[in-house]
């Protein structure tokens, strides 16, 4: 790896890039994965390279769904395997999910290498080597395992292609994704779209789970009922617009007058605080509708 000084202002981002380059060199990640990483970097920059509040909300809903699922599957592609192999194994362990290697640019060699990589981090069982063309897509794109993604009720497909994400939602599965582009077809078709850097998203979810497992099933469902993916995507777009306005003001030398939140923003913040409270504190039993 190229040496990157720890005090570099974009240390995290540069380390992630080096991990992807290493993934390509080790045959885990396709070259197209480097492009995907670059796209992510651009959108991450626009949200300030931090987990925004609405993404944290989506991460909570995603963790709840994985905990509630009968048969959850976490899909692992080449970029995910290069960036967070250990964390994916840990998340699967904590949520009782199966892991399945699921590649857009699929070759048997790459599938095998990723399976082996995950096993290095003590994954007990990793699916993907016996995939069959079971999705409603052209042959190579259609491959999933019969006992894995095909049979799942909840699938977590971080960094997924738009067509494949859509095919999964059409099979009446609940689909969770991580995608830094809130406008992508993947983000717009999934049921829970986490607009966050994959490394931050997985680590946040792992940290949330010890508190979430203390909740009853009804309370977990309540979190999901409260969840509105459209609002989450709209909020991510709002964050990007605010960031662009800031940069535009800098460019034109405009000093914007500081102002307080609008009544709508106050209401939204109160709503968010309320949801958070319900998630974090065990309250009275909540009825499912």
Q: Which residues bind a copy of itself (CB under 8 A)?
A: 2, 5, 8-10, 17, 20-21, 24-25, 31-32, 34-43, 45, 105, 138, 162-163, 181-183, 185, 188, 230, 233-234, 237-238, 240-241, 244-245, 247-248, 251-252
CA–CA gap between residue 74 and residue 77 (Å, rounded): 10
Report in angstroms how near the CB of residue 21 gets to a copy of itself at its nearest: 5
CA–CA gap between residue 156 and residue 76 (Å, rounded): 9
Known binding residue 51? Answer is no
Pairing mode, strands 154-156 and 132-133: unpaired
Known binding residue 198? Answer is yes
Of 278, 84, 80, 39, the closest CA to residue 182 belongs to 39
Q: Which is nearer to a copy of itself, 33 or 128 (CB)?
A: 33
Q: Which is nearer to a copy of itself, 13 or 60 (CB)?
A: 13
Q: Which is nearer to a copy of itself, 272 or 278 (CB)?
A: 272
Report in angstroms how near the CB of residue 10 gets to a copy of itself at its nearest: 8
Known binding residue 220? Answer is no
Q: Which is nearer to a copy of itself, 47 or 154 (CB)?
A: 47
Tokens of 222: 């309540």
Q: Which is nearer to a copy of itself, 47 or 208 (CB)?
A: 47
Report in angstroms how near the CB of residue 160 gets to a copy of itself at its nearest: 14
Q: Which residue has the tokens 């909840």?
A: 154
State the helix-helix crossing angle for 229-252 and 53-68, rounded to 10 degrees. 160
Known binding residue 180? Answer is yes
- Scanning 96-139, the segments in alpha helix (DSSP H) are 108-120
Report in angstroms how near the CB of residue 195 gets to a copy of itself at its nearest: 12
Known binding residue 179? Answer is yes
Report in angstroms how near the CB of residue 13 gets to a copy of itself at its nearest: 10
Q: What are phi and psi of 193, to 5 degrees?
A: -115, 110
Known binding residue 181? Answer is yes
Of 153, 113, 142, the closest CA to residue 129 belongs to 113
CA–CA gap between residue 84 and residue 88 (Å, rounded): 6
Of 217, 182, 193, 215, the closest CA to residue 59 belongs to 193
- Distances in whole angstroms, Cα of residue 125 to Cα of each of 98, 170, 279: 7, 27, 31
Known binding residue 255? Answer is no
Contact 195, 265 (CB under 8 A): no
Q: Which helix (H) or strand (E) holds 35?
A: helix 32-46
Known binding residue 110? Answer is no
Report in angstroms how near the CB of residue 236 gets to a copy of itself at its nearest: 9
Which residues belong to the annotated binding site for ATP? 17, 39, 179-181, 185-186, 197-198
Which residues belong to the annotated binding site? 17, 39, 179-181, 185-186, 197-198
């Amino acid at each position: 790896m190229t040496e990157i000084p720890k005090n570099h202002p974009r240390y995290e981002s540069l380390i992630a890039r080096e991990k992807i380059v290493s993934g390509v060199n080790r045959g885990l990640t396709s070259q197209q994965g480097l492009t995907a990483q670059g796209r992510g970097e651009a959108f991450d920059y626009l949200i300030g390279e931090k987990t925004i509040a609405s993404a944290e909300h989506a991460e909570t809903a995603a963790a709840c769904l994985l905990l509630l699922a009968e048969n959850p599957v976490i899909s692992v592609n080449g970029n995910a395997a290069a960036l967070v192999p250990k964390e994916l194994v840990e998340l699967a362990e904590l949520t009782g999910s199966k892991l399945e290697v699921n590649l857009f640019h699929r070759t048997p060699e790459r599938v095998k290498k990723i399976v082996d990589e995950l096993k290095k981090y003590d994954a007990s069982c990793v699916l993907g080597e016996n995939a069959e063309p079971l999705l409603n897509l052209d042959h190579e794109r259609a491959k999933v395992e019969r006992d894995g993604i095909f049979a799942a009720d909840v699938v977590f497909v971080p960094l997924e292609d738009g067509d494949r994400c859509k095919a999964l939602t059409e099979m009446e599965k609940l689909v969770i994704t991580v995608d830094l582009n809130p406008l992508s077809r993947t983000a717009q078709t999934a049921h829970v779209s986490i607009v966050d850097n994959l490394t931050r998203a997985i680590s946040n979810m792992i940290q949330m789970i010890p508190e979430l497992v203390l909740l009853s099933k009804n309370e977990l469902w309540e979190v999901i009922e409260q969840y509105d993916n459209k609002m989450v995507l709209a909020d991510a777009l709002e964050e990007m617009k605010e960031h662009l306005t800031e940069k535009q003001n800098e460019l034109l030398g405009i000093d914007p007058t500081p102002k307080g939140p609008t009544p709508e923003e106050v209401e939204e913040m109160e709503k968010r605080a309320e949801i958070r409270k319900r998630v974090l504190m065990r309250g009275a039993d909540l009825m499912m509708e």
